[in-house]
Amino acid sequence: MKFAHIADVHLGREQFNQPFRYEDYLKAFREAIEKSVKANVDFILIAGDLFHVSRPSPRTIRDAVEVLELPRRKGIPVFAIEGNHDKTIRETSVFDLLEHLGLLYTVGLKKEPRKGEFQGSKRLSENRYLVWGKVGDLEIHGLRHHTRWQLIRGDANVLRALFKGKRGILMLHQAIDYLAKDTPYQDAFDLRLSELPDGFSYYALGHIHVRRIAEPSQTGLSGPLAYPGSLERTEVREASHIIRYSTRDKKPKVLENREGPKGFYIVEDFQPEFMKVETRPFYSVRIEGNSKVELRRKVEEVSSLIPKDAIAVITLEGTIKGGIALAEFNDLLKDSGIRYYTFRSRVVGEAVLSKERLSEEELFTEWERELLMHLRVEPKEFSEGLPEFVSWLMERYEKGIPAKAMVPKKAQVAPEAGKEKTAETGERVTKKAKAPEKAAKEKKPGKEEKNHEKKPTPKPKNPASLDAWLRRDKL
């Protein structure tokens, strides 16, 4: 069995508002599909973010159709899941159109069952079906992108409940903590390694844009975890080359990015082999200087090291009285022939010295770090997962918030005589003694008053159960 594993295509993106970047992203996708077809794969996986936006332009849809026609003509099925850029709040997406045209098969939760040569399904609830792909005896399972609080609720694990006893391939568009180190998702991961369901021969992952593989001997899972990375260079951290020119350097240092080239995997017998895709050179340049004159000289010197067809993001650094204006540097490269360049500034007008460096643990409590991790999502994702987030938050409050997170250290003092702790705020207030005459006049609650006393609110059923999760009808 041989298949291709592609992720994070981002078709339709005009990076830096440059139309030529649209063509670059399309070219990379076409090359990946052509190489997959030429390798005679049995099927192709697209692990999320085929498109850059959930409502792609007609031109982008047309180009996606033309490229996906290549494997369809050869009888090679394409299985896909929606990434965070693809999915919509509504049930349908552009993936439904591509599926209707017979260009790909989506897997995951659906309102309608699927049955055919390359699909199977199982009813989970009144209007929910688990749909998977199939090639021969091999099953391809998957789920579109979800936020962490949608998947993990206390002790409840939606993925494990959903894929219990399943085998074959599991396709997810999520950031796994074990493989997200040194990426923007390091502290904002979706899943911990220990939360993945076991039993699959291959975990086809997408989302973190860099290439990573973890073997079963490293993870304890039944198959390798693999991220092929994005097909194109989507941001500065993915630059193909890095140039550093500090005040201590006599000449600039040019390095290739340790992440290497862009591409995808051809997987045979569940062992991935990386396939390179040609992409435009992308340079991340950082230049440090102590004056405008020094910075300008270094910019001109560095420009000769950047190819004509490249993209360059140039960051200027240093401490210069009065700062700088980036417009003063744009003219330096106007005749360089570099396809696209932009300047960024980290120059300060005066030195700002910090006497001490506080760790994350000193700045935030464990509860605060957990809350911030849940909130670190795109606005669209937050609005989509708001009911789940509110349920998680209420559940967390029921368990109790650590006192350290509720009361500043200075306010945490020993109780004094005549003070009583309130249940709501955790603060202590002075309890005034009642006068004997006033106490005598107070009435005991009568029958009518007793009937109006508040009854304890029954504790809601666990919102994290699979049945409750499916009934939310937000998938």
**Active-site annotation, residues:** 85
Q: To which H or E segment does residue 428 belong?
A: strand 428-430
Contact 239, 271 (CB under 8 A): no
Alpha helices (H) in 16-128, listed in sequence order: 19-38, 58-73, 94-100
Angle 433-436-441 (CA atoms, 0-180°, nearest 5)? Answer: 110
Alpha helices (H) in 152-257, listed in sequence order: 158-162, 216-219
Extract the tokens encoding 249. 């350097």
Largest CA distance in the chain: 96
What torsion, rounded to 10 degrees, do the Cα atoms 240, 245, 249, 251 define? 70
Classified as helix, coil or strand, 432 is coil
DSSP-derived pairing of the beta strands 169-173 and 138-143: parallel
Name every residue whose Cβ is closer than 8 Å to that of residue 356 and which is 6 or more positions away in sequence: none
Alpha-carbon distance values, 378 to 117, 375, 428 (Å): 37, 9, 39
What end-to-end distance do the CA atoms of the chain give, in Å? 31
What torsion, rounded to 10 degrees, do the Cα atoms 88, 21, 70, 62 define? 60
Q: To which H or E segment does residue 43 belong?
A: strand 43-47
Phi/psi for 213 (5° steps) reads -140, 135
Extract the tokens encoding 143. 């789920």
- Nearest C-alpha neighbor of 314 from the set 296, 336, 287, 335: 287
Q: At what angle do helices 386-399 and 366-375 cross, to 10 degrees?
A: 170
Alpha-carbon distance values, 373 to 147, 172, 176, 378, 412 (Å): 10, 20, 14, 12, 26
DSSP 359-397: -HHHHS-HHHHHHHHHH-S-HHHHHHTHHHHHHHHHHHH
Sign of CA dihedral 394, 396, 400, 402: negative
Contact 309, 339 (CB under 8 A): yes
Extract the tokens encoding 4. 């291709």
Extract the tokens encoding 389. 């987030």
